[in-house]
Chains A and B, each alone.
Chain A
Amino acid sequence: MIVISTTIAKYVLGGYFMVSKVVAYIAIAVIITAIVVGVAVYYLVPRPAPPAAPPPAKPPAKPAPPAKELIIYHWWTAGGEREAIDAVFKIFKEKIPGVKISENPIAGGAGAVMKPVIWQLLAAGTPPDTFQVHAGGELKEYVDAGYLEPVDDVWSELGLEKVIPGTLQAMCKFGGHYYAVPINVHRSNVLWYNPTVFKKLGIIEKFGDPRTWDLETLLKVCKYIKENAPKVLGKTVYPIAVATRHKWPLTHLFEVLLALHGGPEIYVKFWTGKFKYKDPKDPVWKAVRDVLRAIGIMAKEGYFNPDHPELTWDQAAAKVMKGECAMYIHGDWVAGYYMAVKAKYGEEWSAAPFPKKIFVCLSDCFNLPKKAPHRDIAIEWLRVVGSKEAQEKFNVIKGSIPARVDVKPKYPDPYRPETAEDWVKSTLVPSAVHGGLSKEAFVTAMHDILTYMISSIEMGTDVDKAVDYAVTQIAVAIERTGLVDFWKGYTIDYFITKR
């Protein structure tokens, strides 16, 4: 056997070397020609550009694959999330008996890992039937690229326009068409605090309800906690918890403080680039500077927990629960975390909308890609997502509130009834950090600019200097990320539901 194989190898290799010169030249010529021709054909032969206008609601040909399958991508894999989406799957299966759900859950908070996968599938022309996406700017990027079909029919059939507030409608509607059905709503602007620490230091008696604090009061509270905690509690308590290992929680803090300090108009102007960003005297810059300076002071004075670069958002939440930090400005999925770890409400955690009068919202939704292999099933899925029953079941478990205002579940926790009430009564703006308002390129740039700013301040850079540098960097980022063009044709009022 060995002899035979050696002989063959010898023969082949010998043969190869014998013909090698001529054949090698031919082979190289073939390779080069193939590459050149391939590239030329690929780029020189004109191809139809992806259509800018929304396509007709129904594709001409019906998809061939056999019915009753739903290929779905989502990133709900953590405890609580998993059970929530399973509840919706159950309803869906009851509605369409025998349907096979091909799930592709891709772990990673906020879809950090899933999104690149989806982009590749869409670019390759092999979309799933539906996938999870944040309503707002993030959704618009898919719409602009021509990957999605409008779902106006589902909206009108379910009467969603009557039960979903204007801001969230705007976050799903581009160029006059709806492109997704929202399943839930989270609030981004919440101040989480440790009630024991607050009570012992008498924060609320001294500074009033956190729901009414302004930026200055927040800084005063930080100062007070920093100075008095060692005396009263006998240990250092960092006033504000933050986590920058994944960077975005710091941008989240910035977002909430900007809404608090600048109000809804300035907030929306900043995140959509709708202001004179080349003019340093623009009022938006003043508000942004104030907020950056406040964050800078927090970094300088040691109001943040010093280990923030090694923490993720949930670890920062844990610090408040344990009383190592006093406050945490973060979204309301923190409530889901506290409930999951069975922290005691009123003792280990409590929450206040911050500020109460504004509701910075984000929403997960599902959509209908063009060329979805099981289009009819996908539309059925969207009907379920928008239904009262699914919204109630999903949100009670997930820790969010329903997008529909006519769904009023009984919440097991003390926090959410207030959120649900504010969803109907407060001024609404979309969250930029969570895909609602800005362009992801700009938000990503902000992550780096802000973490760089506090890191340099913590290393000893002067606050004003660091803020100046951050402001110039932000202006460059607005320019380079194409933020202004992205929101061309939309006014700031489009995103704000004034109440």
Chain B
Amino acid sequence: MSKRQSNKEHRDRIEAWRKDAAGLSYEEAMQALDLLLAELQNNSVPLAELQQRVLHGEVYLSRCQTLLDSIEQSIVELDPSTLEATNNA
């Protein structure tokens, strides 16, 4: 496999991880990150996969940071008698 092919695969893999992480809530991304850290810290990850796992962890980390920095609070007001939304601020 040529070096160019290998780099493309690497980029594609990271892009796929990003897409997956984009669907995770903060808690889910944090949980995934903590699981990965635990694996990394008990030496159970084969050496050849180490770099990939760390990159994967950074994708989760980045998802958490993005959520913390950019989210605008969702506020819904309900009609007290029907409990249906009256607005969506």
Are chains A and B native binding partners rather than an unrelated pairing? no
Give residues in B with beta carbon < 8 Å to A.
Answer: none
Give residues in A with beta carbon < 8 Å to B.
Answer: none
